[in-house]
Structure 1
Amino acid sequence: MFEHHLIYGAAWLIFGLVHSLLAREFVKSRLKPLFGAFYRLAYNIFATLQIAAVYVVGLWLYEHEVAFVRADWWVVGQGAVYIIGWVLMILALREYDLGTLSGLTQIRDHFKGILAHDDEPLHFKGFHCWVRHPLYSAGLLILWGRVTGPFDLMTAIFGTLYLWVGARFEERHLIRLYGDHYATYKSRVPAFIPVKGKVILKEPKP
């Protein structure tokens, strides 16, 4: 089983490295001229296919593993965490511009002759008053709420590491992009767990 953990961990590491590399500015500056307005959509499709491949590797590695024995109260508790995670995911997604996030807005604007961009305006409303990364918080609840065996456990562990590291890289980009506005926000609002309660900050001017 230890070898399975190593192989599965390596698959997650490769995914994280490639995903991070493609998000770096010097790589984007070279690939964007090739894909044009389709860059963000292509990036998302590639990331989806890659994480799907990692998941398939995990299913293959752990296909003969036995599920954990869990008490009824533990099963119910995990089920609640899992459901809460999906509810939070759906509600948090409503606070984002999904067209820009997916890359469809950039394509639409391209055919309208409008210069589009990939970055959303910075805002501190809704769930962002509680945590800096509500989608990641939802993802963590979903990952840990579905742990029933070794495969789910290792997926939750590696997924958590990926989200934690990914958040750090993402925030470096946001500080470069928004400067003191995001630095102040980062200093006052926790990343994933709302331990400070609701924090109200003034919205930056566009």
Structure 2
Amino acid sequence: MPVADHALYALAWFSFGIGHSLLAGATRHRGTLKRFGGAHRLMYNGVAALHLALVLGFGWWLLHLLPPFHLPQAVYWAQNVMIVMGAGIGLAALRGYRAGPFLGFSQLRGKGDDDEPLSVTGIHRLIRHPLYTASMLILWGLARSQFGVATAIWTTLYFIIGSRVEEARLTVRYGDAYRTYRRTTPAFIPSLGRNR
């Protein structure tokens, strides 16, 4: 296993995590992206997408020549189930977001970041971070090579750490409503015995 290549890929993910978390708190009035005014959310999404593409491309360049794993057929089937589950959860999660604020078009039209109420409908009643759960299921389902496993590991760590940073901001924004939501709703894995 090329340890140096894996270390470089880990550093690339670290750069994404730091950059994404620092920019995530920016609004039209504060943070690194405030100079873009109402376009700050579009810029945030664009910078994040470009940075992520560079990190993944760098990891692929470092590790793509390594042979894929020869896994038992049952593991491949289990991974395929994970991919399908992840896609389903991801689609359910996206239905709970309004595209304008999520992508940044509402902010471009002058609507403030703080105008969005806390939404705990749909799949958000079961888990707080359904898009993270969906992404982890898909990435672990695709973990069939050293590149795939490394990507799944670093993404999972990023989601765990990044969700805590994100939730600190959400607690400041929504106060007791978010504290209650956080206390009663799991982060990534739904509680099967919970009736919500």
Smaller-chain TM-score range? over 0.9
- Aligned twin of 2:88: 87
Identity value in percent:
39
Go from structure 1 to structure 2 and tell me whether the alpha carbon gap of 1:199 and 1:178 turns closer, same or farther (over 3 Å shift): farther
For 1:33 and 1:162, the matched residues in 2 are separated by 25
Aligned residues: 194
Aligned-pair RMSD on alpha carbons? 1.7
Q: Give the match for residue 9 of structure 2.
A: 8
Q: Which runs of structure 2 are paired with 1:181-200 in the superposition (5 Å)?
A: 181-200=177-196
The residue number in structure 2 matching 1:140 is 136
Tell me which residue corresponds to 2:117. 121
- Provide runs of 4+ in structure 1 moved above 2 Å: 23-28, 30-33, 195-200
Question: Normalization by structure 1: what TM-score?
Answer: 0.88
Residue of 151, 154, 175 corresponding to 1:155: 151
Give the conservation status (yes or no) of the 8 Å contact 2:69–2:144: yes
Contact 2:23 2:31 in 1 (8 A): no
Long gaps (5+) in structure 1 = 111-115, 201-206
What letter corresponds to residue 46 of structure 1 in structure 2? V
Query: Structure 1 residue 9: deviation in Å?
Result: 0.2
| CA 1:102–1:192: 2 relative to 1, 3 Å | same
- Verify the 8 A CA contact 1:190 1:196 in the aligned structure 2: no
Q: Equivalent residue for 1:203?
A: none
Q: Shift of the alpha carbon at 1:28?
A: 6.2
**What code does the residue aligned with 2:156 have?**
T
> SS at 2:144's partner residue?
coil
SS at match of 2:113: coil
Task: Give the Å deviation of 1:18.
Answer: 1.0
Amino acid at match of 1:143: L
Counterparts of 1:24-103 in structure 2, within 5 Å, are: 24=25, 29-103=30-104
Conserved 8 A contact 1:101-1:118: no
User: What is the DSSP-based 3-state SS (H/G/I as helix, E as strand, rest coil) of the residue aligned with 1:158?
Assistant: helix
Stretches of structure 2 lacking an aligned partner (at least 5 in a row): none
Deviation of the 1:87 alpha carbon: 1.6
Instruction: Give the Cα separation in 2 of the matches to 1:20 and 1:42.
Output: 14
Distance 2:187 2:54 in 1: 28
Query: Structure 2 vs 1, CA of residues 3 and 95 (structure 1 numbering), >3 Å: closer, same or farther?
Result: same
